[in-house]
Chains A and B, each alone.
Chain A
Amino acid sequence: MTAELSLKQIQKAWHGTLKAYVTGFILSALLTAVSFYLVAEKILEVRALMYTIAGLALVQAVVQLVFFLHLGQEATPRWESVVFYFMVVVLTIIAAGSLWVMNDLNERMMPSMEERTKGTFHD
């Protein structure tokens, strides 16, 4: 059994620094501004724009996880990181699976607009 830590020990073990917060803030603000600018000015075509801003959001998520939530900076054994990566796996399965099933269902159940107007859709 490990003894309880004193306030000093806890503060020493904590990994936040001013540099990390400022870096995270500048990067996040920049990434948000870039996404907003890209959409406002509509520089890219729709599909490319969608992928670009989704990518920028993911990058910003990583920035905030590293600089604000200190992911992967805890003492070993890295339980926080292990749980995080497991969560990502579960999230990916839920997200990809649901979207796949629902899109497939929509495609099979609903006639598209042109099929409906042409009358080519039968039950």
Chain B
Amino acid sequence: MKVDADVIVIGSGVMGGLVATQLAKAGKSVIIVEAGPRIKRQDIVERFRNSPFKMSLTNMKLQGVGSPYPDLPHVPSTYGDYLQQSGPVKYPTKYLRVVGGTTWHFGSALWRMIPNDFKLQSLYGRGRDWPFGYEELEPWYGKAEQELGVSGMDGQDESGHGGEAWPPRSTPFPMKGLEPSYLFKRLSELLGKGGYNPVMEPNGRATRPYGQRPACAGNNNCNPVCPIAAKYDGSMHIDEAERHGARLLDNSVVYKIEADDSGKISGIWYRKPDGSDHHLTANYFVLAAYGIESPKLLLMSSSERYPRGVANGSDQVGRNLMGHTGISMNVMMNEDVWPGQGPTELLVYLNNRDGDFRKDFPSYKIKVRNTVPTADYAASLIAKGVLGSRLDEQLKLMSARSLNFAIDFETLPLAENRIIPSKNKKDAIGLPVPEIYYSVTDYWHAGKAQGLRDFDNFAQLLNAKISKIDTSYQDRQHIMGTTIMGDNPRDSVVNRHCQSHDHPNLFIAGTSVMPSASCMNPTLTGAALSLRLADYMLKTVKV
């Protein structure tokens, strides 16, 4: 039977882009179907500059109105009220439904997990084990670092214990790390006295020309947009896939995956902004719509034969939603450290990334915020009536001395934390919006108690005065777990090859397959899994 393509990839973010590029390079005919529009960098940069609302990681409240990305009827922005929250803890994640996906606005942390992150259940009696260990993913991590152009510091103990280089790596970072700012040098000195080991974050910012990317110029604007494309984003792999012959359909919202009675996926349906419906067929399908839209689509694809939705024999689709639920602290230093200098992110503390304590409380990382804070401070000072010379003095003082530390805690896969298609709310083209139930357990609270102790230690070591502590379950926008991987078809959605247990010609790419979250940003792990998946499709399945 003639089909429209060898492979249809649903979603044009980093994961879909990586798989599509590998398949197209191997000569396969590939169609990438993306719900959102193509965007141009210069348009987003201009919209950011011209917007009265500037997003800032130090002021999450403003994020609701601050996105310079399109908010269209057929792909409502996640910054609005698109995501319905039904649980005791909000999960206000912000992903982008555009060609290139959420990496457009990610801070670009690209960490590897460490070996023990793969064995959470057998080592610590918590969560789940992966069906394979770190050593299986190691070469794919290396390839992903090449593909995404990671800059990082070789030789660091990324387990945070100040020991030898860890995790093991067979290849060095493609690029040297970014120059540390004065803030990092000074914090490392002061916090080092308390046994806190600084670790510099590997990230997706070029430190020399890399492919078509220039070196990072310290624009301090990874989120929401790098103005010069020094930072990796998924549109770069979409461009590459298209150069190798892949076809991209934008503004095409997939709303149904069809499976025949034998279990084979036979086609997809998508809807255009004008409401028209279209059908496509292929021999193989890769679902790469990230951790909310992918499970939503599978659950929306229910039929008489598959009443619980496609790929959902286990009833695990949409469940096990994980993230990094966090807390933060503001302090005032008694010396100038200028946190807003240089590129954003980079310095983290990982003393509690791994150890026997994971039986009792979760792994976590502590990071320091270093976005240029001027807009937040100006608004709050003026509101307080600070004007005249004092306004200039205070702006300078706060910019030099006010610091924000944030903690990201690992969370566990819980069946009750889930995403489902809303039963009562639809978007403008008649498709159900996502409804999210999220909660945290005592395990998380035990981590919070431990993290608060670190905050106290930090303030003492820095001779800083704590001005605010926020424990209101901050969301870090790292979606994981909703199409979880495992060897047992009864309790997992995909097998170790990211292949649906129920439908052998359906694969899922991205962080939604991760059986454990670790406390680290998951993009590189998703990318490594996606490259491994593409290799499996080409060499073993022979698509």
Asked if A and B bind, the verdict is: no
Q: Point out residues on A near B: beta carbons under 8 Å.
A: none
Q: Point out residues on B near A: beta carbons under 8 Å.
A: none
